């Protein structure tokens, strides 16, 4: 497995397995299957409601804890210094872990400054090996970097051929923050798996379009998350280190960029309303 080195010297596997939208009842087995095919980097979140099962799989694997890179994320409901501190410690307890390799703030709203200060303190205490954010646009990331003691190690953002985040990556490189992708396959939207450009490149290398999308991110130096509950797909998604894309391949993929999210725009006021509804639904125990 290839690694990137974060701005604090911590090594992070460039490929990871995400458990977003995997039901808690299926998560433990999915993680165990992913471990069997070679994954050691796992990404969960408080809002996914499956942290416990990820922790159980890590414990049951029989492998040393230090072989794994485990990420979780603080949900909006737990923002603010005291709430975030309590929530992170609760995540560790739920997962049965003494530390997390990376903890992110999940969304760029509410009191993310207070929450980030809590992450900084937990980092200093050794509870977190690295800290960062998710879904922070360049302006908010630069703000966080400029006015806090510890530069975030990671910013996890929507990244795929239809939304390539070119400027965002340039800004992260400038600020020495590692870019990580979510929605690597755009959740299959807009026919991405059958797009003629990706199909043609995949046929040239005898690979799947999914493998081309993962390799494209690896070659950009982006930490890439994939997800599947099928072991054969897990194995396929991690099998991308035996070929390289050409400059021509990268150029034609670059032409697919629409520079727009396929999900939601965090700079749109209606997105705040959407997250407020999600918070209320979770409080009420709704899906």
Q: What is the structure's pLDDT at 247?
A: 97
211 with 184: CB under 8 angstroms? no
Crossing angle of helices 51-61 and 81-95, in 10° steps, is 40
The CATH superfamily of 3-283 is NADP-dependent oxidoreductase domain (3.20.20.100)
Q: What is the structure's pLDDT at 182?
A: 97
Closest CA to 18 of 228, 218, 168: 228
| Low-confidence spans in the chain with pLDDT less than 70 | 285-287
Kind and range of the H or E run holding 133: strand 131-134
Crossing angle of helices 24-37 and 231-238, in 10° steps, is 50
Cα separation, 152 vs 164, whole angstroms:
21
Residues with catalytic function: 48
213 with 159: CB under 8 angstroms? no
Structure tokens at 145: 């970097």
pTM, 2 dp: 0.95
Q: What is the structure's pLDDT at 278?
A: 86
Cα separation, 130 vs 101, whole angstroms:
6
Domain boundaries, the chain: 3-283
């Amino acid at each position: 497995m290839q690694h990137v080195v974060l701005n604090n010297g911590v090594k992070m596997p460039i490929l990871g397995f995400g458990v977003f939208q995997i039901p808690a009842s299926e998560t433990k087995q999915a993680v165990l299957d992913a471990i069997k095919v070679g994954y050691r980097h796992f990404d969960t979140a408080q809002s996914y409601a499956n942290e416990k099962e990820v922790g159980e799989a890590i414990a049951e694997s029989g492998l040393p804890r230090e072989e794994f890179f485990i990420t979780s994320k603080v949900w909006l409901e737990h923002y603010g210094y005291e709430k975030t501190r309590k929530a992170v410690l609760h995540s560790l307890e739920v997962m049965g872990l003494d530390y997390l390799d990376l903890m992110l703030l999940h969304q760029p709203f509410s009191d993310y400054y207070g929450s980030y200060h809590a992450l900084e303190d937990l980092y200093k205490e050794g509870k977190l090996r690295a800290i960062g954010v998710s879904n922070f646009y360049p302006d908010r990331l630069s703000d966080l970097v400029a006015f806090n003691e510890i530069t975030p190690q990671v910013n996890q953002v929507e990244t795929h051929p239809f939304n390539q985040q070119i400027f965002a990556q340039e800004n992260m490189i400038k600020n020495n923050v590692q870019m990580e992708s979510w929605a690597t396959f755009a959740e299959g939207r807009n026919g991405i798996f059958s797009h003629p450009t990706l199909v043609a490149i995949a046929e040239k290398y005898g690979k799947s379009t999914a493998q081309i999308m993962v390799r494209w991110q690896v070659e950009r130096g982006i930490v890439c998350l994939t997800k599947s509950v099928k072991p054969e797909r897990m194995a396929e998604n991690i099998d991308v280190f035996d070929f390289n894309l050409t400059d021509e391949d990268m150029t034609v993929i670059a032409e697919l960029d629409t520079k727009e999210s396929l999900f939601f725009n965090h700079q749109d006021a209606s997105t705040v309303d959407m997250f407020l509804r999600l918070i209320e639904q979770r409080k009420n125990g709704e899906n």
